[in-house]
Structure 1
């Protein structure tokens, strides 16, 4: 993975854009991409929010305009086929408990503590992300007490920058997400963009 300094050196030599401008361009293209749209559709269908719920029956009013027909029966019925199929696939692939083993007996108790029921549930939910969105991400990090743990990240927030065409090694990583915060004494939703590389995380 290239460091931020190496990327900046390459930018100086080959591109008139700054790193911030390239990040903005990549994020803008990602938010409009078909891949991200399909991720959102997959997650929406898993929550049984089918496209039919967005459709409204319309009629022609006395002036010849198309208007919503609020007085007609609402026969829109969402189906849970996608949720059922995803759950079946995850059940087939990940329901059997995995048992981490090591030849060093002194490490076995540590592994058993780490790969507990919470981690297995996290792993299963990450599998659902992989089926619904085509990709899934787990972020390893250390807590304030020095414990290694993982955070599941929303696939539609994650933009990998691959070093190779086979997508086996990352050059950098961009995370785009929204948080609620106070701006000038008003609660607002703020978009945050994080750039991850070997030098750390920049916001």
Structure 2
């Protein structure tokens, strides 16, 4: 035996130490979630989301403009380009009710009732959120009346854990948000964390740099929703994402520098106009005390005091802002070009023909086509939850029912040209296709037309029936 063996710990004690070290080195689920939260809250992606929302509300960086010289003007002109571009895209694609095409009349009626005005308005707001923040989220849940509903989660609150590189499937997600409560007569804030996973929902409070179980919320919930008191789990994670584009890049990320430059140039130009007086006075042997007295005498008495050989003259101040105005105009065009919108102040827009008008809407239409493809995929995801809910509540099995989602864009057209094109297509296209391309056509018009045709057929049948009874048959013989 070596002498060092006398001082070495027994083998089983050594193994206990090794095992304890292994246990201590294993990171817990809560620690992983906490790391993800910290990384998300400091990420550029989340910061851009907040900037996008702020710029939509026209709370732009020009508000921080400083002026070192106290007597100079400090104009802060904020132009709401972001709001106009976002509203233009949303109005163009989502202002009209989408068409859900299916041959199953019962299913079509259910979908029409599900996507009522309230839900369509929510989808419209989701479109605004997606453009401002790059991606938006809807959460499917069962409300107190036992009906399927959808709640919009602010994008900056959601940390998705994707199951694929294309960000199409969400395996689980975190929701981090602040709530207010009263304690000892004082209003306080508390940061709550909800972790939605395939086995249910876990509730935490973010406090003192760590996650602790949220006891009032229930700590752990082994279901996603209840129907008549029975717990259920969705087969998919209950989160529906709506992307602005494949890259999940918000509009503000593209146009922010252009908007900031426009605001700065316009504000600087306004400062220049405000600070340059119309006239500069030239005084020779002025007999007053100071310039303030000179201006007071001039304004009140229309006269000033002069010493011997004194004189007063004025010089015209030349204001040169043409270069700045040209820069502002170039900047405005760049905002609409790269923001893919339509500048409604374009002098030639009002006189444009049908072809020219469509050309000017090319960029807007291109951007909305990308948004449309993303939203079609997302609404199909919504319908997955709708179909499962209908099956669970005994309203029918429509899981294998095919449906086509068509967004009816609010396209600006020259109506007279469109109507003429429809008239010229008679005999070339079928009547229904011609009607669908008529500027006044919609589902209500189609329904009224069907009712009118049915009424005419009924009137004809009634007439023929009366005629037969009166004349004894078509061949003129008594029946």
- Using the size of structure 1 for normalisation, the TM-score is 0.82
More relative contact order, 1 or 2 (CA 8 Å, 6+ apart): 1
Residue aligning to 1:94? 94
| Higher share of residues assigned strand | 1
Kept in 1, the 8 Å contact 2:65–2:74? The answer is no
Q: CA separation in 2, counterparts of 1:57 and 1:150?
A: 48
> Could you give the per-residue CA deviations for residues 133-172 of structure 1, whole angstroms, max 9, x where no partner exists?
0000001111011111100110011110112222122221
Determine which of 58, 73, 87 is the counterpart of 2:68: 58
Aligned length, in residue pairs: 181
1:46 maps to 2:56? yes
Secondary structure of residue in 1 paired with 2:100: coil
Residue aligning to 1:17? 27
Q: CA separation in 2, counterparts of 1:137 and 1:114?
A: 18
Q: CA separation in 2, counterparts of 1:101 and 1:184?
A: 58
Query: 1:174 and 1:81, CA in 2 relative to 1: closer, same or farther beyond 3 A?
Result: same
Query: 1:56 and 1:197, CA in 2 relative to 1: closer, same or farther beyond 3 A?
Result: same
Secondary structure of residue in 2 paired with 1:159: strand
Residue aligning to 1:124? 124
> Could you give the per-residue CA deviations for residues 66-87 of structure 1, whole angstroms, max 9, x where no partner exists?
xxx5x65341011100110111
Deviation at 1:99, TM superposition (A): 2.4
Residue aligning to 1:26? 36
Residue aligning to 2:177? 177
| Higher share of residues assigned helix | 2
Residue aligning to 2:297? none
> Could you give the per-residue CA deviations for residues 18-47 of structure 1, whole angstroms, max 9, x where no partner exists?
111111110000000000001100110000
Q: CA separation in 2, counterparts of 1:57 and 1:179?
A: 39
Query: 1:55 and 1:193, CA in 2 relative to 1: closer, same or farther beyond 3 A?
Result: farther
Structure 1 runs of 4+ aligned residues shifted over 3 Å read 71-74
Q: CA separation in 2, counterparts of 1:110 and 1:78?
A: 46
- Using the size of structure 2 for normalisation, the TM-score is 0.36
Moved more, 164-173 or 17-26: 164-173
Secondary structure of residue in 2 paired with 1:136: strand
1:145 maps to 2:145? yes
Deviation at 1:110, TM superposition (A): 2.2
